[in-house]
Amino acid sequence: MPLPADDLSALADAALGAAAGCRAAELRVERIRSQTVRLHDAQPDTTADDTDFGMGVRVVVDGAVGFAATVDVRPEEAAGLVRQAMEMARVTGRAGGGRVELAPEPPHGDVTWSSAFAVDPSTVPMSDKVALLSEWSSRLGDHPAVSHTTASLLAVSEQTYLADLNGTRATQHRVRLQTQLEALALSDAGFETMRTLAPPVGRGWEFLTGPVGGGNWDWDAELAELPELLAEKLRAPSVQAGTYDLVVDPSNLWLTIHESIGHATELDRAVGYEAAYAGTSFATFDKLGTLAYGSPVMHVTGDRTVEHGLATVGIDGEGVEGQSFDLVREGTLVGYQLDRSIAAAMGFERSNGCAFADSPMHVPIQRMANVSLAHSGATGPSTDELIAGVDRGIYIAGDKSWSIDMQRYNFQFTGQRFYRIENGKLAGQLKDVAYQATTTDFWGAMEAVGGESTWVLGGAFNCGKGQPGQVAPVSHGCPSVLVRGVRVLNTREESGR
């Protein structure tokens, strides 16, 4: 933290002392450094280095919630901030809307937690970041098939101190990193693009420059093959619309999980609290324990503990310990993602730690855990073995565009790379592919999940939710999967081109 431990303790004492009459209260002090680098054709296009520093207080008084925040991080301001939050609670309490209760959470005492990384990416000079992306872009741009390149890097270092009336005082440090390169090819027939498949990660700078293996990405190998893959895609035939068996790579499947499972199992959304902004969910509370979400090989967890997860924490924004929990077991809906208020409102004994605020200026709200599909174990099938079980199908890798309805039920997804599968073997690339289904039909048609060797932790930096809007980072781990009989559209034909 940018403040010494004694100063943080003084802030906590001042704030929590002023909140002695509250049903609950939390102080959060946060410093979030966010860096952005973008290049076009190996030349810098955008660089930014921003720091968000401040403190926020949430209180519950007589069944109403109040929140106040400031960038003036001094003990003499902390007590005043609590009084502002208490007054806000009194105002909101008079507005009606029902009492707010928080599910109980035991005290965790003094907690010090950090995500696993070797080098905080925010400490690496901007000049080094630009130089690395420029060199990688030049490698792509030197290939005759590549007309233009773009490159981007996002790095975040998030330091948080939380103190609450329960007796928890937690100091935490998380880092996250996302890097993408994209090549564009032009021809008389049009253009095609292809991106790298490296996921965003809760890792340090070593993900880009460290030895390959142990979770670090093989950038040299991917950059070497990408131009030829793009050239092949430019020449590839357009898909014939119809019904196909799909083998879906983790680099594509993570987004399908995010949209059709992650959002659908947020309980605040499922009971209607997000209806005005982001919609509701087909997985309503009355279906808990009975809804056939997918096939018997489907096991999905919410997890705030997985190493290198973008949503992994020691303690969440309400002082709740990070946990792992089941959402779908053997194809049946068995759980939801919860914060303390929705847990209490719906009769759960405890939150499963899904509260987060993207800034000290924002109140924590229920946000997505790392929602992941389990693999089939160390002896489970490889991606090649899944492909070998398909007579006529398509192998899909990389994410691109997507569409899903407000209840997270009817969806359509495209991708970066598509390959025909004929008689159990890859038979060249296709293009203009989108797959379409309902959530339960798609997951119900999942016949097999890959083994541990196929499992990859993907995800996104920018999951949006709430009014006013907040963004949250979240990971989704998954193996390759085999899904039978999925409808495939030709996107070029659908667009009328």
Residue 6 predicted with pLDDT over 90: no
Q: Per-residue confidence at 3, pLDDT binned at 50, 70, 90?
A: confident
Q: What is the CATH number of the domain that holds 68?
A: 3.30.2290.10
Q: Are 262 and 368 in contact (CB under 8 A)?
A: yes
Q: Are residues 153 and 285 in the same domain?
A: no
What pLDDT is attached to residue 1? 66
Q: Are residues 286 and 172 in the same domain?
A: no
Q: Are residues 218 and 276 in the same domain?
A: no
Quote the pTM value. 0.97
Residues 6+ apart with CB under 8 A from 216: 203, 206, 207, 208, 210
Q: Are residues 248 and 228 in the same domain?
A: no
Residue 497 predicted with pLDDT over 70: no
CA distance 24 to 99: 13
- Average pLDDT value over all residues in the chain: 96
Give tens-digit pLDDT for 190-225: 899 999 999 999 999 999 999 998 889 999 999 999
Q: Per-residue confidence at 95, pLDDT binned at 50, 70, 90?
A: confident
- In the listed set 198, 218, 235, which residue is the last one of a domain according to the structure? 235
Q: Are residues 294 and 184 in the same domain?
A: no
> Can you name the residues that pair with 431 across neighbouring β-strands?
238
Q: Which domain holds residue 258?
A: 242-494
CA distance 217 to 208: 7
What pLDDT is attached to residue 187? 85
pLDDT above 90 covers a percentage of the chain that reads 93
- In the listed set 235, 265, 300, which residue is the last one of a domain according to the structure? 235
Question: 188: exposed, middle or buried (C-beta count within 10 Å: 0-12, 13-18, 19+)?
Answer: exposed
**Which is higher by pLDDT, 190 or 388?**
388
Span 37-65, average pLDDT: 97
CA distance 252 to 123: 31
Q: Are residues 178 and 303 in the same domain?
A: no
Q: Are residues 353 and 444 in the same domain?
A: yes
Give the total number of structural domains in the chain. Answer: 2
- Among 58-62, 309-313, 396-400, 466-470, the range scoring the smallest mean pLDDT is 466-470
Give tens-digit pLDDT for 248-299: 999 999 999 999 999 999 999 999 999 988 899 999 999 999 999 999 999 9
- In the listed set 172, 203, 235, which residue is the last one of a domain according to the structure? 235
Residues 6+ apart with CB under 8 A from 144: none
> Torsion over CA of 469, 475, 480 and 481, rounded to 10 degrees?
-50
CA distance 287 to 266: 14
Q: Are residues 158 and 19 in the same domain?
A: yes
Q: Are residues 191 and 254 in the same domain?
A: no
Q: Are residues 215 and 134 in the same domain?
A: yes
Span 392-396, average pLDDT: 98
Q: Are residues 88 and 187 in the same domain?
A: yes
Q: Which residue has the tokens 């990971």?
A: 475
Q: Are residues 31 and 179 in the same domain?
A: yes
Residue 230 predicted with pLDDT over 70: yes
